[in-house]
Each structure stands twice: as structure tokens, then as C-alpha cells.
Amino acid sequence: MTVRGDFHEPARPRPDLVIGREELFAGAREQLSGGGSVLVHGPAGIGKSTVLRALAAECAESSRTVLRCSATESESHLPFLALADLLGLVVDQIAHRLPAPQRTALESALTGRGESTLQRDGLALRLAVLSAFRALAARGPVLIVADDLQWLDPASAELLGFAARRLGGTPVRMLCAVRTETEPQAQDHDRFLRASVPETLALRVAPLARAQVADLLAQRGYTGLPRSTVRDIHRTSGGNPLFALELGRALAESPTRPSPGEPLPVPTSLRALVLSRLDMLSAEARRTLLVASAGARPTLALLHAAGRENAEAETASAAALGLLATERDTPGIRFAHPLVSAALYAEADAQERRAAHAALSRAASDPIERARHLALATTGTDPTVAARLGEAAAAARDRGAPSVAVGLGLLAARHTPPGTVPGPDERRLGAAEDALTAGETDLARDIARQVLSRATAPAERVRAWMVVVDSAGQAMSEIDAVFPQALADAGDDPGLVALVRYQLGWRALLMDGEMTKAREEAARSARLAARAGDRRTELLALGFQAQMETLMGHPDAPSTIQRAMREPQDPRVACDHNGAGAARFRWLIMSDRLAEARTAITALLREVQRRGMVESELHFLRGLAETELRSGHCGRALDLARESLRLARDTGIGEAATAMFTSLAEAAGGDVDRALALAHEAVDRAEEDGDMVYLSRALGALGHAQLVAGDASAAVRSLRRVRELEEALGVIDPARGRWHGDLAEALVRIGETAEAQDVIDVTRRRALRLERESVLAVLDRAEALVRAARGEQGPAERQLASAQDRLGKLGYGLEEARAAYALAGLRTFPQHPGVARAGGTPVPGPTSYDEAARLFRRCRALPWLRQVEAASARPPAAPPLAPAALDSLAATERQVAALVMEGATNREIAGRLFISVKTVEATLTRVYRKLGIRSRVDIVRLAAERRPD
């Protein structure tokens, strides 16, 4: 592909504004910080100059001299121009240090006086440039910044390369950019590397991902574009930032935006940019390329079937001009860049396009493609064409391609005459529902709003309202006014009222946090749907009712799940994330049946991926990740969680919930700082949406990450809020969020053992009633820490060993490892290795952590493994303190320590000494430092050791 040389890439020098280049920047910074040089390369518009300017701005701060040049194609014939840009402003500073012949040759080349040439003054000029760089380097580090090396005049390129190859050992770095071909495997940059400083690092600037293109468009002010349009911009631009911005600008300036499946408007600037050689093709070859651009998967056979008899020769000539990519051992025809195809199509007039589509409607072998081309070749309404498009949309839906079904459904609506059955709006609503399935929620909402602006039939209006509600996701507060309008449109029709009541159940849960009311609305919806014979809505309502009963610990949950799983079933509901299958999975995983839960969720995930159900896929990816995390497969859980987060970011669906769960996975097997950042994001999003249900889950993830990070006080603050929220929500089952053990452990760490015991007691009663064995084992682990804090060493160790054994048998690998870690901590403190505790039992040394390390390593629980390694590397604890050791404490410090020895909590100490809790915490920190211990638990143990036998 060829491009105009005067089309400049957008400038944006600040590195914090450069999107999607983090890995490239990291590699370049490491190379440059070590004194090396970097060559950035890639196709036109990919962002090389932006990257170059950002890196140069960073490196300039550590350079004594910065030399710059930026060549253009129109000036590449002027000899020594780039050399003049580099040295013109500094030559006077170092000319006196050059030998006379070199100085004369260099000045002649830079000023144009004396007609210096490489042929006549070759050696003197080469040595002069080398000497100039060395002289500048003698004063301090030199940075040479050269953009668009491909347009460097040959004389300057020769001189720069000669000097670069001989600058080894001098503090001269080169930061350069060069345009190379689109194909990644092309090695066009090799010749520029040979002309660079030895061991220069070549970095290719890659295309942006779809989410990065969305960020770029938003950064430049092109906001409000539907995600489907952003997807089309990304596909058409090939991830090229310049092309994406030009397409975004064209859309912003266009009075009407294209419908799904229609080509994007390609501005004149981009057409000229990529089609500069189109005029060199014959008229017939251009028609052949137009047919290829209109086809979904063009091949030579397809072009022949469409009447292009000389397709081989015509496509070969297009490939020679760089318009088509040369494909080996494949019948496919691929344009050099997606924008070439889009620009070709945009260049053609309406009649030429219709002719191309008409030819393809006869030639295409796929019925979906034939129907699409027939529609694009037809003007006005046509019931036959509309019917074929409706059949094609159904076929695409069955193939698991709902996004294709959207475009076909909208084309069918366009060709459907008014007054027919199904009518235009009914077809549009089908397209909107397909858009929901495909995860294109903003498109679905826009289509539904269009239908509501003109539809009068109650069924169509209620159906459109339901699309609006579904497209809102968790942010139901934004569409609260919809519900009374939908109820009014539903009237007394039981089927329509059932639809609205089902959504009112979700509103009660998400906005009001009322699980009891949500359950009642779901049950009411199921009864109405059954009366109306609407099995699909009945199944959804029963699935939702079962979910509420499971979270509430309601005894009817298993029977409701069974009702929802009876025949007849609706295939789409059976695998929907709100269906009975999902409710059964939740019940299984909360009941400690991990193997069955994994089998169930894997089957659901496979089915929704086959059907292209994006939102359900997102839910089930998280569900499978949760199952793996519970099972102690932290690496696998982290991979799945990150995959779900990428999908959530890409679609804009469930970002808060996915960030919440990915935080848990990061805290278990990844990076704790990232876990904290994701948890904070989830909390902020849930609070912004007014989503009380996911707010409690997000705070639970935040508290867990804070605990893993070692910030027990912050963990207590977060998890206390979770406790308050779940009490208000009516969440009874402790297997829902599993935060209770974390809260008790964090409370022990800050000295609030009484509150920790209360959390354990309340939760244990509920877990016993619901037979949540893994929850009970985790509570025992936490209670053992409470006992240890009270000086009950022996019972604490026995309880921890029992909890570890039970968790292992249940298959909770990570929780088992945490119990082993806690047990190792009790067994290695406070005595020296080999010192006997009361009763003559020898105390193990740091090797007690070996079992915990083995279990965490098996789980790939890297954050926990790092904690174990740090604990086992600590020096042995000091032997028991003599009473005189307390004499080093101030009066208040001795009082606080004495009360701790009695087992008082921080709050109790504050009340008895008439000081604040914060003052107690600060005083204890000083006590720990002076006594050489780590926590209040150690003070209790010291007190126990000083008691007479």
C-alpha cells in the first residue's frame, strides 16, 4: 500500500496521552536508560511520530545536547538538508575542535557555499560528522532524534550512517522512526538498522486494539459513538490511529450515521491517502476490485461466478500496485489494508454498488450472503426480499452470529412494506434483541427508542421497553421512569404484565436492595407468564426467583430450581445467565459441590459461546473462574478472570462485577496492587450505578485485597460495610460472598478479638443451618487466630490443623494453604528454634513454613507465596522477655501493654484510659518497636510465658 508523503501523523508528545503503547514504552525506556539507541518502525499513520516525540521529551531531560531532524518526501532531493537540521545550530560551538579540512568540508555542506559533494569531499565530510558528534559528546550525553528516516536525503543518510557505526563507547543515543510496510513480517527496517548505532533496538508500533481505539476517539472528543460503530471503525482502520481518527471525524461531521452492516463514510483525505495508485488500474480491474470490496470473503472463484472473467490478471495487477496483499496457498483475496476496501467502496457511486451486489447475490454460495447482497441491490420495499432477509437473520442467529443477525434484521425492516406481518417495527425489535445477545447494548437501546417513537401496539411498546431496561444493565437508576410507562402500556394483558413484573424484580434488587420483594415480583411474574402461556418469561422468572432464594438461604430454593428445569424448555433461556442452569450452578458452588459446579458451568459456557450470547458468556467466564479459584487453581482462575475483564471492557457490559471478581483473582494469583485498583474501580462503579448488590461484593473484594496487602485496618473498614449492607439486603447465606473469615482475621490483627468472635458466632449459626461446610472450616481457622490472641496456643493449633484437613478434603486448595500458613505462624513464634515451650515440646524453626509454601506453590498463589517466603526469611524471634524489658516503655505504653496482656481490645483500652482508639493504635506501634515484636498477639504470648507454672 502506498501513501502520500505529506500526510502527517497527529502530534501528541505527552507520554501519558499515548494510548496502548505501554509495552513499547517500557522496552524503549529500558534501552535508552542503559545508553542504547532505539529505532521505531511501522506503517503510515500508526503513531510512530507520536511515540518518538513522547520518548524524546523524556530523554531530553538527561541529555546535554539534543539534535533533531524530520524529513519530508518533497524535500528528500535536497542534499545535506537533514545534516543541516541536526548540526546547523551547534556547529559554531564545536567547529574550532575540528581539523581544518574537516571544518571546511562540513561548513561548505551546511551552508551550501563551495558546492561540497560526497564524491569530492567524501572522506573529509564523513570524518567531520563523526568528529562533530564526538566533540558534542565530550561535553555531555547527546540525543539524536530523527523522524521519517525513509525520506532522509541520500547524502545525509550516508553521513549519519557512517558516524553511527563508529560511535560505540561514546554517550550518543539515537532515537529514530522510519516508515515500513504494513505486513509485520516485512523486514524493511533492517537496512536502517545497519545504518544505526550498533545494537540498536528495533521496535514495531503495532495496531491498536478495539478498546484502545475507543479510548483514542474519546480522548480526541469523538464521544457518544455506539460500540458497534467503534467496532466498525476499528475493523476499517485496522487499528491505525490516524485512520481511526479520520473515520471518527467523518462520522462526527456526517448528519446521518450508517446502520449496522452499512459501510462507514470514508473521508476524501483517506481515500486519496490509500487509493493514490487506483488510477493506474484499468476500468475493468477497478470493477473487479469493487466486487471484491463488496464481498464478505472474496475469492477468485467468487469473482468468476460474479462475471469477472479476467479476475486473475486484474487482481495480479492490483497486487503489483500494493492494493492487494499477496496470499500464498490460499484462494482468498485480501486487501493490503481494510481501509483500501472501504475507500474503494466509498469511491463508487450508488448504481455501481448495486450492480456489484446484484452480481454477488447470484454468485454467493451462502444463503445469508445471497440475501444480504439481494437487499443491497434492491431499492424500496419488497416483501419477498424482506422475507428472505428474515430467514437469513434466523439462520445467522442459529449459527451463533447475532451481530450478523442485527444487520440482516434492520435490512429486513427497511424492505418490509407497512401493514404486513411481521411488520417493520417487529423486525426492528428482533434486531434489537439480537443486539442485546451480541453485547451491543447501546445499539439495542437506540433501535428500541426508534420503535417507541412511533409504535402504538401495546405488545411492541412493552417489548421495546424491555429492551431499554435490559440495555441499562446494572444502572437501572438511569431508566427508573420506564417502569410506570411500561405498566401503562401493558394494561391488563397477563403476558405483557409478566414481562414488566420480571424487570421490576430486578429493580427491587439492584436499586432498593430488597431481596424479599425481588423474590415476590419474580414469583408473581412466573404465575402471570404461566397463565399467558409464555414459557420463556416463566422460565426466566423462576430462575430469578431461585437465585433470590439461594442467596436468602430460603428452603424453597432447590424446589424452585427443579420447577425451572422441567420441560418444556426454551433453549435460549436454558443457557441464559439468568436462567435455571445459572441458578443451579450458583446453588452447587455455594453447597461445596465444586466438581459438579465446574461441569455445569463449563457446559453453559460452551453453549453460549456457540450461540454468540456475549453477556451470558461474560457471566459464565466469571463463574468458571470462581470455581477454579475456590478449587485452588489460582493461575487458571486469573487467566479466565482477565479474559472476562477484556470482554467486559470491550462490550461495556458488567464492568463493575467483572472488575470485582478479577480483583479477587489478582489477589490470589496475580498482583496485589492491581487487585486493589480493580476493587476500588468496582466500588466506584457500583456506587455510581446505585447498585447495592454489587456494591457489597465489590467492598468484599476490596477488603480481601487490603487484607492480602497487609492493611488490616482498611480491610476491617471495608468488610464492616459489607456486613451492614448484607444485613440490610437480607443476604443470609454466608457462602454468597465468603468475606466473614477475612473480617474476623482482620479484626484479630487490629486487636478487636471480641468483635471477631461475634462475627464468627453469628456466621456459624447460619452456616450450620445451611450446611456450608467450607464456610464452617474457614470460620474455625479464624477462631483459632482469636484463641491464639487470647493465649490459648494449644487449642488454637489443634483447631487450625483440623480446619486445614477439612478444607483439603473439600477441595478448597487456597483456603487449605491459608490454614497451613496460619498454623506455621503459630508454631514458629516467639521462641528460638529448638527452645522448648511449656511441657517440653521442641518448637520448629522457619522450616515450619515449608508446608504452606508447598501448598501455595501448588495453587500458584503468588501473592501468598511471597508472604510465606518473607516470613520464613525473617530472623528467629527473640527469646521471652525478662520483666526488666518492660522498663524501657513509657508509663502510658506500659499501661497499654498491661491491658493487652489482660486481653482487652483497643476500644476497651481507650475507654479505660480515656484516650482515643487511634492513640491506642499509635502507642501499640511504639511498644512493638521497642520490644522487637510484631503484634498484640505477641504481647499476650509474652505475658503467658511469664506466668508461673
606-620 confidence digits (pLDDT tens): 999 999 999 999 999
Q: Which of 163-167, 653-657, 855-859, 885-889 bottoms out in mean pLDDT, i.e. has the lowest?
A: 885-889
The cell for 598 is 465446574
What does pLDDT average to over the chain?
Answer: 87
Q: Are 712 and 746 in contact (CB under 8 A)?
A: yes
Q: Is the pLDDT of residue 81 over 80?
A: yes
DSSP-derived secondary structure letter, 632: T
Q: Give the number of other CB atoms < 10 A from CB of residue 400.
A: 16
Q: Which residue has the cell 486448595?
A: 813
Q: How far apart are CA 746 and CA 552, in angstroms?
A: 26
- Find the helix or strand (DSSP H, E) in which 177 lies: strand 172-179
Parallel/antiparallel/unpaired status of strands 334-335 and 324-325: antiparallel
Burial annotation 629-663 (CB, 10 A radius, 16+ → b, else e):
bbbbbbbbbbbbbbbbbbbbbbbbbbbbbbbbbbb
Q: Please, are residues 317 and 278 in contact by the beta-carbon 8 Å criterion?
A: no
- Which backbone phi and psi does 698 adopt, to 5 degrees? -65, -40
Return the residue matching grid coordinates 460472598: 737
Question: Is it the case that residue 791 has pLDDT exceeding 80?
Answer: yes
Cα separation, 804 vs 36, whole angstroms: 53
* Better-predicted residue by pLDDT, 930 or 128: 128
Q: What is the mean pLDDT of residues 172-180?
A: 91
Residue 622 above 80 pLDDT?
A: yes
Kindly tell me the burial class for residue 273, based on how many C-beta atoms sit within 10 Å of its own C-beta (0-12, 13-18, 19 or more): buried
- Distance from the Cα of residue 798 to its chain's centroid: 43
Contact 94, 100 (CB under 8 A): no
Q: What angle do CA 178, 180, 181 make, to 5 degrees?
A: 165
Backbone angles phi, psi at 670, to 5 degrees: -125, -115
The pTM for the full model equals 0.78
Phi, psi of 462 (to 5 degrees): -65, -40
Rounded to whole angstroms, the Cα distance separating 137 from 532 reads 86
Q: What share of the chain is helix, strand, coil (3-state, %, to 5)?
A: 65, 5, 30
Tell me the H-state helices in 511-579. 515-532, 535-552, 557-564, 571-574
Does the CA dihedral 749-751-754-758 come out positive or negative?
negative
Confidence of residue 945 (pLDDT cuts 50, 70, 90): low
Per-residue pLDDT, 12: 41
Burial of 687 (0-12, 13-18, 19+ CB in 10 A): middle
C-beta of residue 325 within 8 angstroms of C-beta of residue 335: yes
Cα distance between residue 788 and residue 799, in whole Å: 10
On the question of pLDDT at 71 being above 60, the answer is: yes
CB contact at 8 A, 4 and 44: no
Greater model confidence, 903 or 313: 313
**807 in Cβ contact with 769 (< 8 Å):** no
Q: How far apart are the first and last CA of the chain?
A: 89
What gap in Å lies between CA 680 and CA 698, rounded to an integer? 8
Confidence of residue 837 (pLDDT cuts 50, 70, 90): very low
pLDDT level of residue 551 (50, 70, 90 thresholds): confident
What cell numbers appear for 924 in the block? 501499640
* Residues in the chain, total: 949
- Which residues lie across from 178 on neighbouring strands? 41
- Please return the burial class of 388, using the count of CB atoms within 10 Å of its CB with bins 0-12, 13-18 and 19+: buried
**Sign of the four-CA dihedral 859, 864, 870, 876:** negative
pLDDT tens, position by position, 300-341: 999 999 999 999 999 999 998 888 986 655 667 889 888 899
Say what the pLDDT of residue 1 is.
Answer: 39
- Can you give the pLDDT at residue 875? 56
pLDDT band at 838 (very low <50, low <70, confident <90, very high): very low
The 8-class DSSP code of residue 70 comes to E
Give the DSSP H/E element, type plus range, for residue 175: strand 172-179
Q: Give the residue with greater pLDDT, 717 vs 692.
A: 717
Report, as an integer, the average pLDDT of 747-753. Answer: 89
Between 373-382, 586-595, 649-658, the lowest mean confidence (pLDDT) is in 649-658
Listed in sequence order, the residues at least 6 apart from 316 whose beta carbon sits closer than 8 Å to its beta carbon are none
DSSP state of 477: G
pLDDT > 60? residue 839: no
Beta strands 172-179 and 201-204 are unpaired
Residue 344 has pLDDT above 70, yes or no: yes
Least trusted range by pLDDT, from 32-36, 269-273, 482-486, 944-948: 944-948
Please say whether the beta carbons of 454 and 426 come within 8 A. no
Q: Compute the average pLDDT of residues 116-136.
A: 82
Question: CA 369, CA 299: separation in Å to the nearest integer?
Answer: 14
Q: What b/e sequence results for 135-159 when a residue is b if at least 16 CB atoms lie within 10 Å of its CB, and e otherwise?
A: bbbeeebbbbbbbbbbbbbebbbbb
Q: Which residues contact 551 (CB under 8 A, 6 or more apart)?
A: 515, 731, 732, 733, 736
For 201, the 3-state DSSP assignment is strand
- Nine-digit cell at 885? 524489658
pLDDT over 90 (residue 418): yes
DSSP 41: E
- Beta-carbon contacts of 100 under 8 Å, excluding residues fewer than 6 positions away, are none
Beta bridge partners of 69: 146
User: In this predicted model, which residue has the larger pLDDT, 700 or 928?
Assistant: 700
545 CB-contact burial (10 Å; exposed 0-12 / middle 13-18 / buried 19+): buried
Question: What's the pLDDT band for 540 if we cut at 50, 70, 90?
Answer: very high
* Side chain identity at residue 581, one-letter code: G
Give 389-410 as a 3 state SS string.
Answer: HHHHHHHHHHCCCHHHHHHHHH
Task: Tell the residue number behind the cell numbers 567531520, with chain if given.
Answer: 128
Cα gap 230→536, rounded to integer Å: 33
**Cell triple for residue 874?**
525473617
Tell me 633's DSSP state. Answer: -
Matching residue, cell 410507562 = 485
Distances (CA, A) of 481 to 426, 476, 477, 504: 24, 10, 9, 12
Would you state the cell numbers that stand for residue 112, as one nine-digit string? 551550501
Locate all alpha helices (DSSP H) within 690-750, ordered by sequence: 692-708, 712-729, 740-749
Sign of CA dihedral 352, 356, 361, 367: negative
